[in-house]
Amino acid sequence: MLVDTHTHVNFNAFKEDGDEVVRRSLDSETWMINVGSQSSTSARAVKMAEKYEKGVYAAIGLHPSHLFESYQDAEELSFKTRAEEFDYNFYKDLAKSKKVVAIGEIGLDYYHLPKDGAEELKKKQKEVLVKQIELAQELNLPVIFHCRDAYDDLLDLIKKMTKIPRGVLHCFADTYETAQKFLELGFMISFTGIATYPKADSVREAVKKIPLEKMMIETDAPYLSPQPIRGTRNEPIYVKHVAEEIAKLRGLSFDEVAKATTENAIRFFKL
């Protein structure tokens, strides 16, 4: 059994065959957490999770890139983000569903900032992030953190909080030294198909050094397809390629990695 701890079958890329993708995953003993990035995809994640008795869960939150309008490209998939204000009560109401297991993905993203007004948007991202962390703590839920080109600021923000959130760094794409700083705060680290890319040296080095009990796996589907299927749409069933690569890099069996990462996910998200 595997758990894809971060996927987006609730996104438009799966509009035509989402249920088929979910069923294919469950039939292969792969559970999933569909993660929201704004109000619509968060609500869709909850609705989808509630259709299944087990194996499908939801995370809800407002991604930092949805605080302003922009075009983004990821693995040759283009999409437009629309500006949205964070509505505390809306997300709190969504979290009444027993299938909601985390607040996320939320965080800081400086990669997509426009040249004009960047500092103001950084400030706004931090303010909205704090509000969402406070929501997670009120609801006793863990946090799925998105972070791109902003690890130092994220670390500083978290350290200044009265209570350190129970968090996971999703789609980790930095160095082991960076990961270590978050591990010291009690965080989990989650790896995507990036770990399977031959040239992703820093990420692959982190895979080798981070304690297995602090590690989870994910697809971030439909993006970041693992090396064996790179260039095609990713989906939860392909999280097995991430587990296989971790096993290879650490000199472990696939079953050892599957068992550890699944147990970590079940414990962290209380599945």
pLDDT attached to residue 77: 46
Q: Within the chain, where are the H helices?
A: 18-27, 39-49, 88-94, 118-139, 151-159, 176-183, 201-209, 239-250, 254-269
Q: Are 271 and 57 in contact (CB under 8 A)?
A: yes
Amino acid at 207: V
SS3 105: strand
Q: Exposed, middle or buried, 184 (CB in 10 Å: 0-12/13-18/19+)?
A: exposed
Residue ranges in 99-150 assigned as alpha helix (H):
118-139
Contact status, residue 57 vs residue 49, Cβ threshold 8 Å: yes
Q: What is the pTM of this model?
A: 0.94
- Cα–Cα distances in angstroms (integers) from residue 156 to residues 59, 109, 150, 263, in the given order: 24, 15, 10, 30
Facing residues of 253 across strands?
Answer: none
CA distance 91 to 162: 22
The Cα–Cα gap between 205 and 107 comes to 24
Task: Report d(CA 104, CA 34) in Å as an integer.
Answer: 10
User: Looking at residue 110, what is its pLDDT?
Assistant: 92
pLDDT at 116: 80
The pLDDT profile of the chain, 271 residues, written as one tens digit per residue, is 999 999 999 999 999 999 999 999 999 999 999 999 999 999 999 999 999 999 999 999 999 988 876 655 544 444 556 678 999 999 999 999 999 999 999 999 998 787 788 899 999 999 999 999 999 999 999 999 999 999 999 999 999 999 999 999 999 999 999 999 999 999 999 999 999 999 999 999 999 999 999 999 999 999 999 999 999 999 999 999 999 999 999 999 999 999 999 999 999 999 9
Q: What is the pLDDT of residue 32?
A: 98
The 10 Å Cβ neighbour count of residue 229 is 14
Q: What pLDDT shows up at residue 80?
A: 58
Q: Are strands 70-74 and 77-81 parallel, antiparallel or unpaired?
A: antiparallel
159 phi and psi, to 5 degrees? -65, -25
- Helix 176-183 and helix 201-209, axial crossing angle in degrees, nearest 10: 40
- What's the pLDDT at 114? 77
Report the alpha-carbon distance of residue 5 to residue 148 in Å, rounded. 19
Alpha carbon separation from 112 to 67, 92, 156, 206 (Å, rounded): 11, 28, 21, 25
Domains and CATH numbers, the chain: 2-269 (3.20.20.140)
Helix axes 151-159, 118-139, angle to 10 degrees: 50
State which H helix or E strand residue 3 sits in: strand 2-7
The reported pLDDT for the residue numbered 66 is 87
